[in-house]
Amino acid sequence: MILTPTFIILISIVFILVWLFVRTIDKRKWLTLLVSLALTPIAYFYVFYPILNIFSSYHHEKRFNAKAWEDKPELRFEMMHTIVKDSIFIGKTKDEVQPLLGKAEWYGWDDSLKANSPEKWNYNLGFKPGALNNMQECIELQFKNNKVAALKTYQLEKTFE
């Protein structure tokens, strides 16, 4: 286990809460200390940490990998940050992008054409983990003169039946 400042702060908070709870049961300090020391890891790892993971939107971030993009489409959101931040597709042609991302899953709407445009490639990135998350992450690559000119990320609301 790696002891980070965040972990130490959180485990200290849990210890204080457990200490205060145990003090309501028994006022003997030595007994309260022993019970609090024993219950703090249990309370942290089996109560506090799972609840924190359910309601936080933290997720792992990975560098773009074409094989992982193809094999696990539900985890593409992990690569979204590096795709957008590093702009790894800006300036690439359609012939360079297609082997890495595959064919466009759908074309984006173009108001000037009043139709879906083959110059706007869209890909589903999956769902970020978290409780009650019904927003599907997507990315759109916009081409100009056969080269990627812009990237746009957006969310679609997914309704479950």
Q: What is the pLDDT of residues 96-112, one digit of tens each?
A: 999 999 898 999 888 88
Evaluate if residue 124 carries a pLDDT over 80: yes
Per DSSP, helices labelled H in 26-72 are 29-43, 49-55, 66-71
Is 126 part of any domain? yes
What pLDDT is attached to residue 58?
66
Which position has the higher pLDDT, 152 or 53? 152
Evaluate if residue 86 carries a pLDDT over 70: yes
For residue 41, what are the CA distances in angstroms to 11, 13, 52, 91, 136?
8, 12, 15, 51, 35
Which position has the higher pLDDT, 140 or 74? 140
Do 112 and 79 share a structural domain? yes
| pLDDT tens column, 5-48 | 988 998 999 999 999 999 999 889 999 999 999 999 999 989 98
Do 77 and 44 share a structural domain? no
Q: Phi and psi of 152, rounded to 5°?
A: -135, 130
Domain with 50, as residue range(s), is: 5-55
Q: What is the number of domains present in the chain?
A: 2
Count of Cβ atoms closer than 10 Å to residue 78 Cβ: 21
Which position has the higher pLDDT, 22 or 51? 22
Confidence class for position 49, pLDDT limits 50, 70, 90 = confident
Evaluate if residue 95 carries a pLDDT over 80: yes
Is 26 part of any domain? yes
What pLDDT is attached to residue 57?
65
Do 96 and 73 share a structural domain? yes
CB burial string 97-106: b at 16+ within 10 A, e below: beeebeebee
Residue 71 tokens, joined: 């094999």
